[in-house]
Amino acid sequence: MRIFLTLFIVCICSLAYTQNSKPVKIIIDTDFGNDCDDTGALAILHQMVYNGEAEILAAMYPMNDEWGAAAIDAVNTYYGKPNIPIGTYTGNYVYKGKHNDFYNSNLAKNFPNDLKTGKNALDAVMLYRKVLSEQPDNSVTIVVVGPQRLLADLLLSPGDQINQLSGVELVKKKVIKLVSMGAEYPKGDEWNIRICPDGAQVVAKQWPTPIYYSGFEIGKVIMTGERLIAETPITNPVRVAFETNPMVEKNKNRHSWDETAVLFAVRGLKDYWTMASGSLQILDDGKNTWTPVGKKHFYLIAKKPPEEMKKIIEDMMVAPPKQ
């Protein structure tokens, strides 16, 4: 009996180890160009790829300008991954907030990348459908660190020649979790939701897997970026995005909204956070409330002190590319 019990425990432990050691398959949906935390988020994601913790299946750009997709390609190229597929938004949604070109055209034109312009990128919803179709069931994690226009359009997409399943059916089959930098808890009025409230409403109501939200309050207290200038070269597009962004503090720090969402998407709670379960409601103007009933939505609650989170994130932000 004792031997069986020991064997059983060994099996369970090795199973858990195997599951934990498998890289998390990530699609990152990022509104590069306005705030610079998007570049920090992509930088730490590349470091977690080097660590064997993650695999980047694709990157998506939800805004309707031509520079974002190429700027994302420039960062991927800097980290030695020039061939990650990149999708761009091709619709005509009018966002309820200005998306500035604080660094996108600079990165697209002055840093190595073969996309050059978003006109050479794939349609993002089509790419979502293609990439999801090619992956094993219940295997893909999507992390959205911008507005949720593309995710709403994906959910509302009909079956097509890529896959006969509707968007909702395809997501239900292939996606294991959605992680969103979005809203504020238990209530608030946050940018990513506010500039596309109808998209975020569709996602909150119709998304068929659990959604984990890293709220405004999580990234707000973790200031990162200053070490990019001291420790990384001027050929680093992430450094340049921080250095030239008018929203950074004098010491070039910025809130770590998008980095925390990516960190959770790959590593889970660790000893960084706990979480609350319930249901997010998004009003028509983008303001949000929270009902602590159900297991559909979750939001992160800070656990580790901000200074320790800063070190974890910044160590990865400044780590060099690997060949």
Instruction: Please report how close the Cβ of residue 120 comes to Ca ion at its closest, in angstroms.
Output: 9
Smallest CA-to-CA distance from 78 within 87, 70, 67 is with: 70
Considering the complex, what minimum distance in angstroms separates the CB of residue 145 from Ca ion?
Answer: 4
Which alpha helices (H) appear in the chain, and where do they start and end? 2-21, 37-50, 68-78, 104-110, 124-134, 149-155, 167-174, 191-194, 197-206, 216-220, 226-231, 237-243, 257-267, 306-318
Place of tokens 């559909």: 296
Size of interface with Ca ion, in residues (CB under 5 A): 8
| Site pattern 240..279 for Ca ion (x: CB under 5 A) | ------------------x---------------------
Out of 31, 66, 184, 217, name the contact with Ca ion by CB under 5 A.
31
The footprint of Ca ion on residues 58-117 (CB under 5 A) is 73, 82, 114
CB of 37 to Ca ion, least distance (A): 6
Give the nearer residue to Ca ion in terms of CB position, either 114 or 249: 114
Task: Find the binder of Ca ion among 107, 145, 241, 318 (CB under 5 A).
Answer: 145
Choice between 23 and 82, CB closer to Ca ion: 82
CB of 14 to Ca ion, least distance (A): 38
Return the number of the residue (120 or 289) whose C-beta is nearest Ca ion.
Answer: 120
Q: Does 146 bind Ca ion (CB under 5 A)?
A: yes
d(CA 226, CA 70): 25
Please say which residue, 31 or 217, places its beta carbon nearer to Ca ion: 31
25 within 8 A of 57, measured Cβ to Cβ:
yes
Instruction: Between 62 and 167, name the residue whose CB sits nearer to Ca ion.
Output: 62
> Of 38 and 226, which CB lies nearer to Ca ion in the complex structure?
38
Q: Min. distance of Cβ 78 from Ca ion in angstroms?
A: 11
Specify burial of residue 176 (Cβ count, 10 A radius: 0-12, 13-18, 19+).
middle
Neighbours of 294 (CB within 10 A): 9
Whether the CB-CB separation of 262 and 145 falls below 8 Å is answered with yes
Q: x/- contact string, 33-52, with Ca ion (CB under 5 A)?
A: -----x--------------
Dist CA 39 CA 63 (whole Å): 15
CB 26, CB 41: distance < 8 Å: no
**Antiparallel, parallel or unpaired: β 223-224 and 254-255:** antiparallel
Closest approach, Cβ 82 to Ca ion, in A, equals 4
DSSP state of 188: B
Per CB under 5 A, which region of 25-33, 99-107, 150-158, 224-232 contacts Ca ion? Answer: 25-33
Spatial contact of 141 and 265, defined as CB atoms under 8 Å apart = yes
Cβ closest to Ca ion, residue 82 vs residue 210: 82
Binding site for Ca ion (CB under 5 A): 31, 38, 73, 82, 114, 145-146, 258
